[in-house]
Amino acid sequence: MIPAFDELQLRLPRHIAVIMDGNGRWAKARHLPRFIGHQRGSEAVRRVVEAAADMGVEYLTLYAFSSENWRRPPAEVEDLMGLLRRYLRRDLAEMHANGVRLRVIGERSRLSGDIVSLIENAETQTAANCRLNVTLAISYGGQDEIVAAARAIAQAVAAGRLDPAAVDHQLFASRLDTAGLPDPDLVIRTSGEKRLSNFLLWQAAYAELVFVDTLWPDFDRADLEAAIREYQARDRRFGGRRE
């Protein structure tokens, strides 16, 4: 039996990561343009950030735009970038006032200059906040991240700046985009799909995975609480075994 949420408030996952999936299907089911689905998805982001902060979650990472999403039609990509601009401009003051720290991971070189400036401004303004740490994964791919970390370590070894014997899990993790963040305890994917889709491949090694049928634009606090209840009902052994 899954215990009630309020009975396990102290067993909240420290870090929740979300693969926000289903905007297009939400719009198609209502005979609406995909852009409307993405727009409603951005509203779900605000709901979930607010809910996570209220619950006391420390870290929330949202998969907003993958490295593979660049292959989508140019018009859809521009729509998504437009929503990102609006989010960074419109919601920054509210996030800052609510004690939310914003961080963005991913390949910024592929983003337009104005978006990079908005990201840097948001990160600077919210750097001292500590109520909730929100990380947006934009132009992000887990395999690319691992390859880049391996390349940086190899270059340091070749240049004589790093002893190969010093390379361990902790050092490797320090070369990832998520350096300084704890690994996710819980990864949620919406829309019924059951895969990680190149998201936090290293970091999610021992995360609990919860797949929900709700399409992202409909995801709300109740869905988040239900996913947390499922997480709390699991026995996390990290490869070990209890006596």
Active site residue 69: yes
Q: Helix count (H) and strand count (E) of the chain? A: 8, 6
Q: How many CB atoms lie within 10 A of CB 235?
A: 5
Do β-strands 15-19 and 186-189 pair in parallel, antiparallel, or remain unpaired?
parallel
DSSP 8-state code for residue 203: T
Active site residue 98: no
Residue pair 30/161 in contact by the 8 Å Cβ criterion: no
In angstroms, the CA 17 to CA 34 distance is 24
Of 69, 98, 121, 198, the active-site residue reads 69
* 49: alpha, beta or left? (left if phi > 0; alpha if psi -120 to 50): alpha
Sheet holding 186-189, edge to edge: 100-105, 132-140, 59-66, 15-19, 186-189, 208-211
Active site residues: 21, 69
